[in-house]
């Protein structure tokens, strides 16, 4: 799989958030995005996920362009900003509902994803009783559970205890040879440990991390 971002710009009214971004992502790598809040990272991820349409430029997945109004990039899952689920359903019930959309996985894969993020003991607790860290774990579990080829993980380690962070880092390194993984983190060490390439966002301009 190859993702090509060609001259992508994004404006909201007169505010230029991304300015002629050109990047390429390929299978077998973990890519890090770095930059302060408001630098354009989340907007860029939403364009990749098909949630925003670029003001200019295009995004190609294996040379194919997708129109977010009609179809979304194939085999991609994303955790962008704060995850939200149905408050009165349990963590397990929320994932089960999502899994029904495509019908690709069984209960076994859902439970394995919950185990991976150390949330299995809270799977039957209502989402509105979850702590911030537990909500983050559920968001990560929904990214992993259907074994997507492209994973987008925005501030993936926020609110997580150290043993879960270490477990997830090991897992990401283990699966990367068959994936495109794109992560953001405010922790420089997280990106340096995991990523094959780091890009720096500064006022909508993207450059290689020095």
Q: Is residue 187 part of a domain?
A: yes
Domain count for the chain, please give it: 1
Q: Is residue 112 part of a domain?
A: no
Q: Is residue 185 part of a domain?
A: yes
Residue 128 CB burial class (10 angstroms; 0-12, 13-18, ≥19): exposed
Q: What is the pLDDT of residues 158-210, one digit of tens each?
A: 999 999 999 999 999 999 999 999 999 888 888 999 999 999 999 899 988 65
Q: Is residue 62 part of a domain?
A: yes
Q: Can you give the residue range of the structural domain that contains 187?
A: 1-70+177-210
Q: Is residue 200 part of a domain?
A: yes
Q: What is the pLDDT of residues 83-118, one digit of tens each?
A: 889 999 999 999 999 999 999 999 999 999 999 999
Q: Is the pLDDT of residue 68 over 80?
A: no
Q: Is residue 40 part of a domain?
A: yes
Q: Is residue 135 part of a domain?
A: no
Confidence (pTM): 0.94
pLDDT recorded at residue 74: 75
Q: What CATH number should be reported for the domain holding residue 11?
A: 3.40.50.300
pLDDT recorded at residue 73: 80
């Amino acid at each position: 799989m190859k993702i090509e971002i060609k001259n992508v710009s994004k404006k909201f009214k007169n505010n230029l958030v991304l300015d002629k971004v050109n990047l390429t992502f390929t299978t077998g790598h973990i890519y890090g995005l770095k930059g302060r809040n408001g630098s354009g990272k989340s907007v860029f991820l939403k364009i990749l996920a098909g949630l925003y349409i670029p003001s200019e430029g295009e995004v190609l997945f294996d040379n194919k362009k997708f129109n977010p109004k009609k179809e979304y990039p194939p085999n991609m899952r994303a955790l962008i900003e704060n995850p939200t689920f149905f408050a009165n359903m349990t963590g397990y019930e929320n994932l089960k509902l999502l899994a029904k959309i495509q019908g690709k996985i069984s209960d076994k894969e859902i439970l394995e994803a919950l185990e991976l993020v150390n949330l299995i003991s809270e799977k039957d607790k209502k989402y509105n009783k979850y702590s911030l860290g537990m909500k983050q774990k559920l968001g990560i579990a929904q990214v992993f559970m259907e074994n997507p080829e492209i994973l987008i993980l925005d501030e993936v380690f926020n609110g997580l205890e150290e043993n879960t962070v270490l477990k997830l880092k090991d897992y990401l390194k283990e699966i990367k040879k068959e994936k495109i993984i794109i992560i953001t983190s405010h922790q420089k060490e997280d990106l340096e440990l995991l990523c094959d390439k780091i890009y720096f966002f500064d006022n909508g301009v993207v450059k290689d991390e020095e």
